[in-house]
Structure 1
Amino acid sequence: MSIVDSVTKAMVPIHREGWPFIAIALVATVVIGYFISPLFWIGLLLTGWVCYFFRDPQRVTPVGDGLVISPADGIVSHVGLARPPVELELGSEPLMRVSIFMNVFNCHVNRAPFGGKVLRVAYRAGKFLNAELDKASEDNERNGLVIEAGDTRIGVVQIAGLVARRIVCFVREGENLSTGERFGLIRFGSRLDVYFPAGTQAKVALGQTMIAGETVLADLTEPQGAAQTLTRVS
């Protein structure tokens, strides 16, 4: 294998949503650097960070009936019962919820936690509080999906954060998603909540690092138990 082939293989793809931002950063770097040369190198570093932020690596998704996979890279900030957003129409009773906080260095491409039909896509405007706070689930701008397969419904909510100002969703109601398939992203720094069917026992721990499309959050085929609510304190 040649050096060029080795470098090409090692390169991580960049999501198409990132190219306009990369172009803007690069042009700004060249223009500002032309007049103030020391700022060129700072701009070049920032351009590199933008490329890194919008990376879209390949993932190997586990295959198995009933597996619910992490939709985001990041850290588990909440595990336990919580009422789902009313716009998802998943009922008023508390359901098992796993929250995943993404900082500005995490990959922000979101992947379907469960395969099935997109029953609902619901956007709701809101605030831009720190996404790591538990109240961000209720107060912040968000976009929710309900994925249905047979009698099972999984809710996944994209939540904007303190820095994030743009939620992007690629799918519409009625479309089908495969587990681990890309469905959206959030810019820059944010959170995803996953709501499970009643009685689901989560297989992740508070503070655990998640890998989108790979880490198993729950196995719906396993016997269910009592839920314990845990929230990460910053």
Structure 2
Amino acid sequence: MFHKEGYKIISVAIVLFLGINVASYVAIQIKEWQIAILVLTLAFLILILQFFRNPKRKTLVADNTVVSPVDGKVVVIEEVFEKEHFKDNRLQVSIFMSPINVHVTRHPIGGNVTFSKYHPGKYLVAWHPKASEENERTTVVVKNNIVEILYRQIAGALAKRIVNYATEGEQVVQGSDSGFIKFGSRVDVFLPVGTKINVNLNEKVRGGESVIATL
């Protein structure tokens, strides 16, 4: 299954793959060159297909757990001052996605979307300390019966478009699609101080399935 954000790009990639290889078969008589072009274009097509894959995930829905919003590696666990919305100290858990990770963003908790905002910005590498405040990003806050948390999609050096589906006032289900970030990025999750964190630095997590915190 592929994500809807990739349909156009996948279609273009398939047309290019077929067009280039038909043209090489007609115009180039050297078989080795034809094979080389086939291999290179097939590799490119496979990269596009794997980037936009959207595997189904089985989320164990619970108000007292926070699931990872994305696939990737935990790169930050620290207490910080969150100055955009809460304006107090929060526990920040950041997950970095490489270009080979699934790039679907999922709601870490279910509940009511109380805040959703897009910020234009720079394209610093996603692990840069200032990326959370200076890069292109979207901020979403969801509140359930137990907690209100904020998570932020952050563009990286290669990510040129962030898609955010969350709209203020809507009810969302834990683990459901919240957005998509194209070509490498990171997501920050801001939790109340004192929340039990269930992951460690450099640990790999799966969006919608890995429980990163217990409330």
Is TM-score (shorter-chain normalized) higher than 0.5?
A: yes
- Give the superposition deviation at 1:85: 4.8
Aligned equivalent of 2:31: none
Distance in 1 (CA, whole Å) between partners of 2:155 and 2:170 is 24
Letter in 1 for 2:10: I
Identity of aligned residues (%): 39
Residue correspondences, number: 205
Distance in 2 (CA, whole Å) between partners of 1:211 and 1:16 is 20
Aligned equivalent of 2:145: 150
- Give the superposition deviation at 1:19: 1.2
Report the secondary structure of 1:94's partner residue. Answer: strand
Of 192, 197, 201, the residue aligned with 1:202 is: 197
Distance in 1 (CA, whole Å) between partners of 2:18 and 2:105 is 32
Pair 1:90 & 2:86 matched: yes
Q: 1:76-155 alignment to 2 at 5 Å?
A: 76-86=74-84, 89-91=85-87, 93-150=88-145, 152-155=147-150
- Give the superposition deviation at 1:151: 5.6
Question: Would you say the 8 A contact 1:120–1:145 is kept in 2?
Answer: yes
Structure 1 residues 85 and 101, CA gap change in structure 2 (3 angstroms): farther
Aligned equivalent of 1:33: 21
Question: Would you say the 8 A contact 2:94–2:187 is kept in 1?
Answer: yes
Distance in 1 (CA, whole Å) between partners of 2:175 and 2:102 is 14
Distance in 1 (CA, whole Å) between partners of 2:212 and 2:199 is 6
Aligned equivalent of 2:5: 17
Runs (4+) of structure 1 exceeding 3 A deviation are 34-38
Aligned equivalent of 2:167: 172
Question: Would you say the 8 A contact 1:26–1:44 is kept in 2?
Answer: no
Deviations 1:10-62 (A, max 9, x none): xxx11111111111111122223333344243112211111111111111112
Question: Would you say the 8 A contact 2:73–2:204 is kept in 1?
Answer: yes
Aligned equivalent of 1:54: 52
Distance in 2 (CA, whole Å) between partners of 1:204 and 1:151 is 21
Question: Would you say the 8 A contact 1:96–1:201 is kept in 2?
Answer: no
TM-score (norm 2): 0.90
Letter in 2 for 1:74: G
Question: Would you say the 8 A contact 1:73–1:108 is kept in 2?
Answer: yes
Distance in 1 (CA, whole Å) between partners of 2:201 and 2:129 is 13
Deviations 1:60-118 (A, max 9, x none): 112333101000000000001122251xx111x22101000000000001110011001
Distance in 1 (CA, whole Å) between partners of 2:89 and 2:117 is 19
Aligned equivalent of 1:231: none
Where does the alignment leave 5 or more consecutive residues of structure 2 unmatched?
25-33
Question: Would you say the 8 A contact 2:116–2:138 is kept in 1?
Answer: yes
Report the secondary structure of 2:54's partner residue. Answer: coil
Letter in 2 for 1:84: E
Question: Would you say the 8 A contact 2:71–2:101 is kept in 1?
Answer: yes
Letter in 1 for 2:152: V
Letter in 2 for 1:119: T
Question: Would you say the 8 A contact 1:25–1:43 is kept in 2?
Answer: no
Where does the alignment leave 5 or more consecutive residues of structure 1 unmatched?
1-12, 221-234
Distance in 2 (CA, whole Å) between partners of 1:201 and 1:66 is 11
Distance in 2 (CA, whole Å) between partners of 1:65 and 1:75 is 24
Report the secondary structure of 1:107's partner residue. Answer: coil
Of 71, 74, 80, the residue aligned with 1:73 is: 71
Report the secondary structure of 2:2's partner residue. Answer: coil
